[in-house]
């Protein structure tokens, strides 16, 4: 597996889930290297670079050393390494809770669709700077929706973002809006905008707990 490199070490750490439906829950985080999108406001750009190569057995040993029954696999874009994730999960306990963070451009394999407990799907809107034909893939989003285990979270900056979200026709009870922020100051400024959008369109607000707790520190 190609693991994102942070301070010359593979980025595998124990923390609290900062976003989405399980915000606040303890988990081991595994950040994979490589991404097929390049968001202008990405707060983990180092994950775009080549990382550390570790075999799945070594990764599993590091994950299990924390003694936590939950893992969050993030990136980068993890599904670029779908086959390696399948091999890793076969080495972890069958009852370990598995979340995968994805940008929603690569459909889950049948094996991962059956094994992953929660998909945190974050399609990228126009302000991310990505080409919309590459960043928004309705058929792929439908594949995640079909798993019945997906939440769809959108980074928002203004009311102008809502038409693109609405056009995807995703279930509002599974839609989360989050402020566009990489540090506490940006989070404080964007939270009211996101909250107003959630009230207006009756969807869920997702705060960014890791920023609240640790500002822009990485590896936490």
As given in the structure block, the two tokens for residue 170 are 């995703």
Beta bridge partners of 204: 176
> What is the DSSP annotation of 44-93?
-GGGGS--EE--HHHHHHHHHTT--SEEEEESS-GGGGHHHHHHHHHTS-
Q: How confident is the model at residue 59 (pLDDT cuts 50, 70, 90)?
A: very high
Model confidence over 197-211: pLDDT tens digits? 999 999 999 999 999
Q: How confident is the model at residue 160 (pLDDT cuts 50, 70, 90)?
A: very high
Pairing of strands 150-156, 175-179: parallel
Q: Hey, what domains does the chain have and what are their CATH numbers?
A: 2-157 (3.20.20.70)
Q: How confident is the model at residue 12 (pLDDT cuts 50, 70, 90)?
A: very high
Residue 94 DSSP symbol: T
As given in the structure block, the two tokens for residue 22 are 């399980």
Peptide bond into 76 cis (omega under 30): yes
Three-state SS at 131: coil
Task: Specify the pLDDT at position 130.
Answer: 97
Largest interatomic CA distance in the chain: 48
Task: Specify the pLDDT at position 95.
Answer: 97
Q: How many CB atoms lie within 10 A of CB 188?
A: 13
Sign of the dihedral defined by the CA atoms of residues 97, 42, 171, 145, in that order? negative
Model confidence over 34-52: pLDDT tens digits? 999 999 999 999 999 999 9
Q: How confident is the model at residue 212 (pLDDT cuts 50, 70, 90)?
A: very high
Q: How far apart are the first and last CA of the chain?
A: 21
What is the mean predicted confidence (pLDDT) over 84-103?
98
Distance, in Å, from the CA atom of 23 to the CA atom of 90, rounded to the nearest integer, reads 26
Model pTM? 0.97
What is the mean predicted confidence (pLDDT) over 99-109?
98
Task: Specify the pLDDT at position 143.
Answer: 98
């Amino acid at each position: 597996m190609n693991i994102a490199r942070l301070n010359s070490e593979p980025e595998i750490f124990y923390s609290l889930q900062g976003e989405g439906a399980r915000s606040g829950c303890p988990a081991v985080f595994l950040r994979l290297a490589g991404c097929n999108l390049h968001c202008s406001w990405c707060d983990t750009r180092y994950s775009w670079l080549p990382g550390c190569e570790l075999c799945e057995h070594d990764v599993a040993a590091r994950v299990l050393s924390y003694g936590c029954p939950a893992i969050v696999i993030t990136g980068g874009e993890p599904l670029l390494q779908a086959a390696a994730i399948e091999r890793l999960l076969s080495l972890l306990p069958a009852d370990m809770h598995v979340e995968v963070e994805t940008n929603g451009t690569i459909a889950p394999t049948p094996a991962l669709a059956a094994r992953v407990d929660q998909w945190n799907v974050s399609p990228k809107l126009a302000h991310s700077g990505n080409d919309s034909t590459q960043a928004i893939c309705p058929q792929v989003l439908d594949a995640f929706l079909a798993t019945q285990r997906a939440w769809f979270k959108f980074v928002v900056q203004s009311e102008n973002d809502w038409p693109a979200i609405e056009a995807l026709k995703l279930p509002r009870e599974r839609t989360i809006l989050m402020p566009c922020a990489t540090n506490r100051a940006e989070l404080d400024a964007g939270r009211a905008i996101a909250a107003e959008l959630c009230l207006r369109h009756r969807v869920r607000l997702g705060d960014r707990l890791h920023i609240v707790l640790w500002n822009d520190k990485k590896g936490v």
